[in-house]
Amino acid sequence: MRAQTGRARGGGKTAGTKLNWGRPEPGAAYADNVGPVELSERYAATGERDVYLAGKKHYEQALAGSPDDPELHISYGYLLAAHARNQLRQAVEQFERATALDPDNTTGDSRTT
């Protein structure tokens, strides 16, 4: 069963719709089973890289066909913002690990300010 697609945030076409949060059947790509909005929401919740990549591909294809659709741009921006947050978390983890390994080394800190 294919999940419904719609707007990413409140009051849109999917308000009250049950989203397909389950994993796809083995061998199937995420994009084959859920729409881009659901992929964005799942990625924001889980940080799964394959979900991000499927969502990114989905949005790029959708925007190629509808480049003037503001809702697509908003939803795609939501996916990209979630990805940026995950990337920043990973960077902080690396700096924290470096600090734990060598508390006197501050070279990593000076590059982030």
- Positions of E strands within 1-113: none
Identity of the residue numbered 113: T
Task: Tell me the pLDDT of the chain (113 aa) as tens digits.
Answer: 333 344 444 334 433 333 344 444 433 455 456 777 888 888 888 889 999 999 999 999 999 999 999 999 999 999 999 999 999 999 999 999 999 999 888 675 555 55
Identify whether 82 is part of a domain: yes
Q: Which residues contact 4 (CB under 8 A, 6 or more apart)?
A: 13, 14, 17, 19, 35
Count of structural domains within the chain? 1
Identify whether 79 is part of a domain: yes
Identify whether 36 is part of a domain: yes
* Length of the chain (residues): 113
Identify whether 107 is part of a domain: no
Tell me which residue range forms the domain holding 58. Answer: 30-88
Among 60, 64, 80, CA closest to 8: 80
Contact at 8 Å (CB) between 55 and 36?
A: yes
Identity of the residue numbered 44: A
Among 6, 66, 13, 2, CA closest to 36: 6
